[in-house]
Each structure stands twice: as structure tokens, then as C-alpha cells.
Structure 1
Amino acid sequence: MTATLTDAPLTIDFAGPYALTIDGKLVETNKSFDVLNPATNQVLAQAPEGTAEHMEAAIAAAKAAFPGWSALPWAERGAYVTAYADALEANKDELITLLTLEQGKPRHSMATGEVEAAIYWVREVAKRELPVEVIEDTDDHIVEVHHTPLGVVGAITPWNFPVLLGLWKIAPCLLTGNTMVMKPSPYTPLCTLRFGEIAQRVFPAGVLNIVSGGNDLGAQMTEHPDIAKISFTGSTATGKKVMASGASNLKRITLELGGNDAAIVLADADWEPLIPTLFWAAFGNSGQWCIASKRLYVHRSIHAAFVAAFVEYGRQQTVGDGMDPATDLGPIQNRMQYDKLKDLFADVKANGYTVPLGGTIDESLAGNFVPVTIVDNPPETSRIVKEEPFGPILPIIAFDDVEEVIAKANDTPFGLAGSVWGRDRDAAIAVAKRLETGTVWVNEIHIHGIDIPFGGHKQSGLGVENGAEGLAEFTNTKTYMFRK
């Protein structure tokens, strides 16, 4: 097997047709389902509705491809993954447009950034390796620790970052010698289906299979005896179901789940230059971000001035169709999430909380548009503080001392990420070390890297992605001992 690439990009017709990828072939289905453009709620395309039989065929193809793929030298698999990055790059512009059309995020900013970052990720992951670790090497004995592939990996991806989070799974999974069956969210299946179409020009048949359809396919994957691992990104509630279902045959599981991340602005912070950074940390992707700052704690001595400046900056941002270059924030991706936000907005209004910006959803608009909304100092027991809104609404809460804000930040079942901001770096780091989260940033936010592990504590997840630890999650640890 050798990694090859046809240089010419695919011609993407955004309306389709789209097909499943099973065993290196495009597979049509008898049924399809509508994929809506969230800016208009008009049908963008028809996606193939895979059946249980399609899923069985995909798993069987991945299982059959595993022996040959896993037997390749690590460097040769890396060459294939690099060739895949090249193929994705050749189709970058079309993928960016397709991402905006199906997900809603602005093409000129977040959609472009997501696709470019994802391709970069694939290319860089291909350069990584898990070396053999020699534990003991004496005159008469050797102990080595190897990392061996698991087998078939089932990947289930979400609708908020379908390109980036999909490729986060594909690249390390295949590099470490596994094969994959991926099921995208039925809200955003189109880019992922194109991943499969592009992959057929690079990988051997069966190495990467894509099956779109309903939630029943996800349950089939998590229960299937021939799938060795599930890599899932989504809600905590669904993650619990995945974990319970996978227990039937002790599947390896990586779960990247919800969060209610706290950003803490200390009394000594030089806060005025931070307003744009903190705004986009909360409202990027219209707040549809597991690591968005969802609770912003500001010391009472600067709280009023901070809120006024934050509101003024937010007032300047435009919510609209992601294909419009004037748009800063796109629509909510799907009607289910839009309705959840409507309920949360109604709760804010019913309780009479102070809302200095936004607060009213215009339901006469065709798209799922929700205004930038700021809630000033709601009680700690309020839903807007306790729940993960997953939309463009943010509570800004005053606090009086460090012990108080640490306790409030940690008073949540979630533990994904957080940030601390202050001039006294040592004091800010001391606060950061007490936050019960998988990632904490100090005087910066949303910094990721190929070699930086990312994962949640508490109910925000299990295991990690990225870094050597993330690669290792796609392997078994195997110890060899040799008598000389």
C-alpha cells in the first residue's frame, strides 16, 4: 500500500447528491432526510439516511481492513494521513462554504478558521509518533512498553464544530493503526460525507467509513461487539448513555462533553483591553461552544464599568446569515437548540433579571437568529448561571473576594475549562490551580495545540484528545518482557 493523491479537487455541488462511504465505495440509500440552512430554515440538501444494514456493512468493512492497515509501518500510515491533508486542502474553499451553509457560522471568519485549523491539525498529527518505551535493559532482561491499535473505532461527532472535531478524531485514529466508522450529527452531516468522498481517493478501502442517519445508528455503534472504542463529542446526557451502552463489552471510551466554564476577572486586571477577547471567548460561534466562557465573574470594584463597556462592544456586533461578510455571529444551528434558548430567555424575563443588552428573540425571522444577550448579576441559583446555555447569552456576575469566586466557579457538575485574568500573574495562577477543570488559561484563552492534551473533569468528559495522551487513547498498552 502506498499513499497517493489525485491533485484535482472534487466539484462540490452543495445541493448534492451525497452518499455514504462504505468499504471505499459511495453508497446510495433508499431514504434521505432534509438538511436545513439555519439562516433560512430552507432545505439545503438531502442527506442519505443509513440503515442498520449500512452500519453493519461499514463496521464489517472496517474490521476487514484493520489487519492490513495496522500492519503498515507507522511512517507509511503517516504518509497516508498527510496525503489526506493535501486532499482536504485541495477542497478547502468548497468545504468552508458548505460548513457555513449547513452549520451557520460566518464564512469569512469562523468557518474559514475551522476548516484551515482542521487541515493543519491533520497534517501535524501525521508527524507524531508513540515511541517504544524501554523500562528495563539489563544484562539478562529487557522490558518494553508498546502502543498497539485497538481495532475498529466508532466516532460520533457534534453539530457545532463538525469539521474540526471530526478531523480531530480521524487523524489520530488512523495514524495509530485503527480503522474507523464515523457517524456525523444529522443536523450537520454534509461536510463529513464529503470527508468520506475525499478519503476514497487516498486511503485503502474500509479504512474510513462514513454513515449518516438518526440516533439509532449511534446506539448500534456503542453496543456493537466489533467496535473496540467509541470517541464521542456531545452533551453530557448523551455521553452518559454512550458510557452505559459501551459497558456491555468494556469498550474503550473517550467522551468530550458539556461545560459551564467560568472566566474570572480579578480586581487588579487591566480589563479594558480585554473586552474584545472576553466577548469572543463567550460569543464565538454564537456561544455554541463547549469551552465558551459561560459565566463571567468580575470583581465588584470594576463590575459596573466592565458591564457598560462589554455591553457597548456587544452592541456593535451583527447577527445574520453567515454568508454575508457583514455578519459577526451566525444563527443557532438547529431548531431544537433555538427552542431551548427561547425557554431560557423566558426564564430570565420571568424572574426579572437585569438585561442591559438583548433579551428578546424575534420569532418572526425565518432563520434561527438569537440576539447577543447579557444578563447583569443574576443570582447564583438562577438557571442562566447553573445551566449550559449553548447560545449567545452570558451572565456577568460580581464577586467580592477570591475565596468566594473560587467556590462559585467550582460549584458545578461540569469541569471542562476556565480562565483567570489579572495583573499579578502569580496570584492569578494561584486561583487557576484551584479550579476543578481539565484546562485553565491565565491571561489568555482558547489556546489549543497538537501536543496539548484536552479533556474534561467531573461530568465534562472522560479521557483526553490531542497530545501524546490523546494518541495513546487510540491504543492498548502492551508490555513485552524478554530474557536475554
Structure 2
Amino acid sequence: MITNLKTKEEYGTNIFDGPYYLNIDGQLVQTTDSFDVENPATGKVFAKAPSASPEQLNQAIDAAKRAFKSWSQLGYDERERYLKAYADALDSHRDELARLLTMEQGKPFATEASAEIDQAIRYIREIAARRIPVEIVEENDSHIVELHHTPLGVIGAITPWNFPVLLTLWKVAPALITGNTIVIKPSPFTPLSLLRAGQIAQSVLPAGVMSVITGEDKLGPQITEHKDIAKISFTGSTETGKHVIRSAASTVKRLTLEMGGNDAAIVLPDADWKSIIPQLFWGALGNMGQWCVGIKRLYVHKSFRKDFVKDFVDYARKQKQGNGLHSDVVLGPVQNKMQYEKVKTFLADIEANDQNIVLGGDVDDSQPGYFIPITVVDNPAEESKIVQEEQFGPIVPIIEYEDIDDVVNRANNSPFGLGGSVWGQDTQIAVDVANRLETGMVWVNEIHTQGVDIPFGGHKQSGLGTEQGHEGRLLFTNPKTILIKK
């Protein structure tokens, strides 16, 4: 066990360069094995992350199980104080965490990385103030029926590389405030910022309440199969989510799965389309298109499609791409080599089918890093790969439509159903279209507005259960009915 925790005073406010340890039972723990972490802007290894053994995973789960006994007995108010103290501790390391996030994930420090850390800290503070009260279901002369919501136990959180800090703390805060303990497995592509966030937690939270365990792909199934994990909260691809379901079945674990999407944005005939191009651009291509609720298909009415494409491309040309540590950069690289190669298969298919690329498309493999230029495809066929599959990268197809019924059918013709958006000046018409979309979330004349009280979840193969909102918090609990005779 290691107890020395290097602080921002030792490294400066903007730098933390390790060493990195597992976080187990309130201690920092070394490992025998490690794995490389690359900076996607350079393609070079800049750090080593600890690779947990099965025994170390068991130690973390055992510690969480022990801590659950006392943590679950604390009242909401006391758990709130701990969570707010943790938010304050993260805030004191805000720039350091954001810089580390940029180095391992690629997103620009000045905009997206700093915003992710800020949003995560704000989320912890807000969720800490939420409560699930006891509900009186029935009361008469003979008895009272109370509905309680009791914590599940140890939560296993398996989190992704696109928003590693935010999407992890989305799980941590509701799990802990409702009385659970948690063991976190970050993506092996982005383990460092969460290891650091876990190190910071050790000075604030009771031992065993929150552990961060890093490793490569084999670690995930060990968590999902473990008999002492009560629930898996997973964010990632639909294919991996299917493996999670199968793996968790033997112990009948509770599951919340937030998975893939192929979100459609529909720009209605009456839309003030010139004014919304920035929102649509960032809704599609923020974080280099690497988000589950990013706009993956942009349907534009025939009457203005050509002009729309021209103005969209003009706006896109003004956005600077590069290393996210540079202050003038607003677009970074694709996060990892695997995803980089996957996105290139979309470009190859577009070229093979003579589709009309009006911006980007050319990848320079001789340059360092995983950079793919923002690429705009004008009016590809509905059956094409770029329309039917989730690209999860910086390519956006702009697709013409003429009939509202037809575009709704096309938007719904997908195995996914995560999010979508509708844009038009007549709000009631836009809402009517939104009500017809088969997705868990639909934005009308805005995009990606979220909050702790706004339920977030997918339909069809985009997920099971809900995150955020009262509905999401309930999923970290078991309903328990108590009937009391008077």
C-alpha cells in the first residue's frame, strides 16, 4: 500500500504527471503490470497506467462490500456533506484534471476539457442535494403502507473514453447519495484522469466507498460476473452492452446500459436554418463526433439543402483543428487508433460509392496523431453506410428530404433510439414531429441540454434503464414495501 499522494502544490496548478496507482480501500496500490496510455494528438505513449490483477479487483470489491455496511446507514444529509467535500476537492484540482483529460482524450483544454470537469463537479454538488423520500402508498384506520427505496450494495461502473470524467461521475454521484458504494473501471484508453480523481477521493471519502481499478479488456467481464456486484452501470457500444447483459445474467444483476445511437436531426421547411448552423455543427461534430447523442444524420429540406450545405461548410472551415493544449484549437483528434481506423472505413466506403464529399475526406497518415479532418457528405443515399451505421467520428451526412412523413420514417428506421432533434419556427409542428420519433430524448430547437433532473436513456438497442432524473436515481435502489398495522 502507498499513502503518499502528490498534490498540485508539488506539481503546479496545471500539471500532474503521475505516478498513477489503483485506488483500493482508501489506499493507493501499486501493480506488477501496467499498460501504455497514448496522447491521441501525437500518437505517442506519455504515461503508464496500472493493470489490476484479479486479486486486486477482489480486494476492491471486498472493501466496497465492507464499506457499504456503514455508508448505507448514514443519512442523506451526512452523505451529502461527503459528496460536496469531494466536489470541492476536485474543484481545487480543476485545471490539472482538465489538462490531463486533454492529454489522454484529445479534446481541447480551453473549451471541452475544462467544461467537462466543470460540469462533472457541478453535477456532484447538485445530485448531493437530491433525496428519495419515503412514500405513503396507503393509509387507513387499520394500517399504513410505506414505500422505501433502499440501496443495492456495490455498484460496478464501466465507463467510456469519450467523456470519461463526466460520464463516470454521472454514475458515482447518484450511486453514493442513495447509499451504495462503487467500484469504477475506466476505459483503458482514458484511465488517468479517473485514477487521479480517485486519488483525490481517498482524502475525502471513507475507505472503500469509491475505488478506481484500471486494466485492459479482460477486467470488464470479471466485474460483470462477480457475485458481490449488485448492479452494473455501463456506458459504451451496443455490442459490448450485449456482452454485459449475458455476463451479468448468472447473478441477476441490476443493469443500466447507455449504448449506441444514430441520432437524426430534422430541419423543418420553415426553419430559420442560417441561424442554427452553429448549433447543428457542434451538435454533430463537438468532441469530434464522438458522443452517443451526437447528430449522426442531418436531414435538411429540399427547398434549401444546397444553400444549407454551402453555409455549413463555410462555418466548418473556420474551426481550427489540432493539439488540444493549444489555446486556439477547438477540434482535436480522434481519441484512439482503433476508432481512427474504424472512421477511415466510412471514408473508404464513401469514396468507393462515389458519394459527394464537399469538405474533408483526405487523411494524412504520415502526420503524427489520429487526426481526421471534419468531413461533410452531401446527400448520400439513405441505404449508405454513413447513414445507416453509427460513425462515432468527424463525418456528417447532410441528407435531403421533401415529405415530413417520409423523413420521420427514415429517422425511425434504425435499430437505435437514443436521441434526436427537430428544428422549426412553428414550435407546435416541431413538437408534433418530435413526438413521432422513436427515441429516449428529443430536443426541439435546442441540442444536448441536460441536467440532473432530466431523465436520459435510450429506446430499442440504445439502452436499458435511465440515467439522471428521479427515474435514474431510483435505479440505484430497491423498492421496499413496509406494511404496518395500527
TM-score by length of 1: 0.98
CA distances 1:371-394 after superposition (whole Å, capped 9, x unpaired): 000000000100000111011000
Report whether the alignment pairs 1:267 with 2:269: yes
Contact 1:25-1:200 at 8 Å conserved across structures: yes
Describe the shift of the 1:10–1:247 C-alpha distance in structure 2 as closer, same or farther (beyond 3 A). farther
Matches within 5 A, 1:389-404: 389-404=391-406
Q: Are 2:232 and 2:254, in contact at CA under 8 Å, matched by a contact in 1?
A: yes
Deviations 1:16-66 (A, max 9, x none): 110000011000001111100000011111100111111011111101111
Q: How far does the alpha carbon of each residue in 1:180-203 deviate from its partner, in whole angstroms, 9 at most, with x for none?
A: 110000000001101111111111
Q: Quick check: 1:115 aligned with 2:81?
A: no
| Amino acid in structure 2 at the alignment position of 1:219 | P
Q: In 2, Cα distance between the equivalents of 1:24 and 1:38?
A: 31
Counterpart-to-counterpart distance in 2, 1:11 and 1:374: 46
2:221 pairs with 219, 222, 231, which one? 219
Indicate whether 1:205 and 2:207 are aligned.
yes
Pick aligned residue for 1:178 from 153, 177, 180: 180
- 1:310 is displaced (CA, Å) by 0.4
Match of 2:251 in 1: 249
Give the one of 400, 410, 418 matched to 1:408. 410
Task: Structure 1: give runs of 5+ residues left out of the alignment.
Answer: 1-5
CA distance in 1, matches of 2:449, 2:332: 22
| Number of the residue aligned with 2:49 | 47
Q: Deviations over 1:421-455 (max 9, x none)?
A: 01111111100000000000111110001100000
The 5-angstrom pairing of residues 286-325 of structure 1 reads 286-325=288-327
SS at match of 1:348: helix
Q: Deviations over 1:79-130 (max 9, x none)?
A: 1111110111111010010000010000000001100000000010000000
Look up the equivalent residue of 2:418 and give its one-letter code. Answer: L
Matched, 1:280 2:287: no
RMSD: 1.1
Q: Secondary structure at the match of 2:72?
A: helix
One-letter code of the match for 2:200? I
Quick one: which amino acid aligns to residue 419 of structure 1? S
1:348 aligned onto 2:350: yes
Instruction: State whether residues 258 and 463 of structure 2, in contact with CA within 8 Å, keep that contact through their aligned partners in structure 1.
Output: yes
Secondary structure at the counterpart of residue 188 of structure 1: coil
Residue 14 of structure 1 deviates from its aligned partner by: 3.5
The one-letter amino acid paired with 1:125 is I
Match of 1:368 among 367, 370, 374: 370
Q: Which residue of 2 aligns with 1:195?
A: 197
Cα deviation, residue 10, structure 1: 6.4
AA partner of residue 128 (structure 2): A
User: CA–CA distance in 1 between the matches of 2:473 and 2:82?
Assistant: 17
The answer for the alignment partner of 2:468 in structure 1 is: 466
CA contact (8 A) 2:8 2:16 kept: no
State the partner residue of 1:447.
449
Residue pair 2:150, 2:477 contacting (<8 A) in 1 also = yes
| Code of the aligned partner of 2:393 | G
Q: How many residues align?
A: 478
Cα shift at 1:74: 1.3
Instruction: Give the aligned residue type for 1:310.
Output: F
Secondary structure at 2:32 match in 1: coil
Provide the C-alpha distance between the structure 2 equivalents of 1:213 and 1:302, rounded to a whole number of angstroms.
Answer: 50
Indicate if the aligned counterparts of 1:15 and 1:44 stay in contact, CA closer than 8 A: no
CA shift for structure 1 position 11? 4.5
* SS of match in other structure, 1:128: coil
Are the counterparts in 2 of residues 39 and 321 from structure 1 also a CA contact under 8 Å? Answer: yes
Cα distance between partner residues in 2 of 1:364 and 1:325 = 24
Residue segments in structure 2 that go unaligned for 5+ positions in a row: none
Q: What CA distance in whole angstroms lies between the structure 1 residues aligned with 2:261 and 2:106?
A: 22
When normalised by structure 2's length, the TM-score is 0.97
Q: Is the 8 A contact 1:9 1:87 kept in 2?
A: no
Q: d(CA) in 1 for partners of 2:433 and 2:75?
A: 45
Distance across 2 between alignment mates of 1:229 and 1:14: 32
Answering whether residue 4 of structure 2 is matched by residue 38 of structure 1, we say no
CA distance in 1, matches of 2:291, 2:211: 26
Q: Is the 8 A contact 2:8 2:96 kept in 1?
A: no
Tell me which amino acid in the other structure corresponds to 1:110: E
Aligned counterparts of 1:127 and 1:187: Cα–Cα separation in 2:
32
- Following superposition, the deviation at residue 263 of structure 1 comes to 0.2
Partner of 2:436: helix, strand, or coil?
Answer: coil
Distance 1:14 1:84 in 2: 18
Q: How far apart are 1:333 and its partner, in Å?
A: 0.6
Q: Is the 1:10–1:91 contact (alpha carbons within 8 Å) kept by the matching residues of 2?
A: no
Q: 1:10 to 1:58 in 2, by over 3 A?
A: farther
One-letter code aligned to 1:239? G
- Structure-2 residue corresponding to 1:436: 438
The one-letter amino acid paired with 1:138 is N
Q: Cα–Cα, structure 1 residues 210 and 11, in superposed 2: closer, same or farther, change >3 Å?
A: farther
* Match for residue 154 of structure 1 among 153, 156, 161: 156
AA aligned opposite 1:39: A
Q: State the one-letter code of the partner of 2:138.
A: E
- Residue 74 of structure 2 aligns with which residue? 72
**What's the offset of the Cα at 1:139?**
1.7
Match of residue 361, structure 2, among 332, 354, 359: 359
